[in-house]
């Protein structure tokens, strides 16, 4: 986590620092990423970065957390389900399609997350993915609890167990789709939704059969 001095910055300045860091990591990888260039592009002194973060690794891991947090809040397909009347699984499909198109607005962040998943950052992959999944689980738990209240999700299995099931399935399908996109010479955010439509429907059908209310 960043030092307290980072959180004293206003949201705009925090975002500028994080986007500069993410762009540098994406362009040059972890080892070759230059703190001086990150500071320059964020319009802060180089020494300020070390006032905000203990070291480059801490900055990188927080970049992963910040990106995940930002994307999930901006394109939140979970909390808005509280006001939806459709079946949770139908809602997941339609919301996924909407989010897929909208996330092109944040192409650099999406590709950064994609690269983390696909092992670009080598020794930091497991720790980075763990950061993302821990944060994503908070949203999934909320979805499950709302789904149970509405009668869309079975009541006889613990929320945490269901969360593990959803996380495992969704993580693997995301990885599969990212690899599929790369093999076609694309990044996941650049592909047409229709190319992945069948796979996404299959995943949601598996979730429905495993955890849907009978």
The yes-or-no verdict on residue 100 having pLDDT over 80 is: no
Q: Which top CATH class is 63-211? A: mainly alpha
DSSP sequence for 71-106: HHHHT-SSGGGGG--S-HHHHHHHHHHHHHHHGGGG
pTM of the entire structure? 0.83
CATH 1.10.357 residue window(s) in the chain: 63-211
Q: For residue 81, what pLDDT is reported?
A: 67
pLDDT category of residue 80 using cuts at 50, 70 and 90: low
Q: Name the pLDDT band for 76 (thresholds 50, 70, 90).
A: low
Q: Domain 1-54 class?
A: mainly alpha
Contact 153, 211 (CB under 8 A): yes
% of residues, the chain, pLDDT over 90? 44
Q: Which two tokens stand for residue 112?
A: 């950064």
- Highest-confidence range of 25-39, 144-158, 183-197, 200-214, by mean pLDDT? 25-39
In this predicted structure, what is the pLDDT of residue 77? 58
Mean pLDDT to the nearest integer, 167-175:
82
Please, are residues 103 and 71 in contact by the beta-carbon 8 Å criterion? yes
Query: What's the whole-number mean pLDDT along residues 131-142?
Result: 81
- pLDDT at res. 131: 85
Mean pLDDT of 109-122: 91
Q: What b-and-e string marks burial along 76-112, b requiring 16 or more CB atoms within 10 Å of the CB?
A: ebbeebeeeeebbbebbbebbbebbeebeebeebbbb
Domain with CATH 1.10.10.60 in the chain: 1-54
Give the span between the Cα atoms of 158 and 176, in whole angstroms. Answer: 27
Question: What SS3 state is found at 150?
Answer: coil
pLDDT at residue 78, as a whole number: 58
- Angle at which helices 159-183 and 193-211 cross, to 10°: 160
Residues 6+ apart with CB under 8 A from 13: 44
Question: So what's the pLDDT on residue 64?
Answer: 95
pLDDT over threshold 80, residue 82 = no
């Amino acid at each position: 986590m960043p030092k307290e001095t980072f959180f004293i910055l206003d949201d705009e300045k925090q975002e500028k620092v994080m986007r500069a860091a993410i762009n540098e990591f994406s362009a040059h990888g972890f080892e070759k990423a230059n703190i001086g260039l990150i500071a320059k592009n964020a319009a802060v002194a180089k020494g300020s970065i070390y006032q905000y973060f203990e070291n480059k690794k801490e900055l990188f891991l927080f970049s992963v957390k910040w990106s995940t947090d930002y994307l999930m809040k901006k394109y939140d397909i979970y909390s808005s389900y509280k006001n939806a009347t459709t079946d949770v699984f139908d809602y997941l499909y339609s919301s996924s399609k909407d989010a897929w198109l909208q996330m092109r607005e944040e192409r650099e962040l999406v590709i950064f997350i994609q690269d983390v998943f696909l092992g670009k950052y080598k020794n930091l992959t497991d720790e980075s993915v763990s950061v993302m999944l821990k944060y994503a689980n908070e949203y999934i738990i909320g979805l499950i609890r709302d789904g149970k209240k509405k009668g869309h999700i079975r009541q006889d299995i613990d929320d945490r167990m269901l969360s593990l099931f959803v996380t495992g399935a969704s993580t693997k399908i995301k990885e599969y789709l990212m690899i599929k996109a790369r093999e076609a010479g694309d990044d996941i955010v650049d592909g047409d939704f229709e190319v992945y439509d069948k796979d996404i429907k299959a995943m949601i059908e598996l979730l429905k059969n495993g955890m849907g209310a009978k």
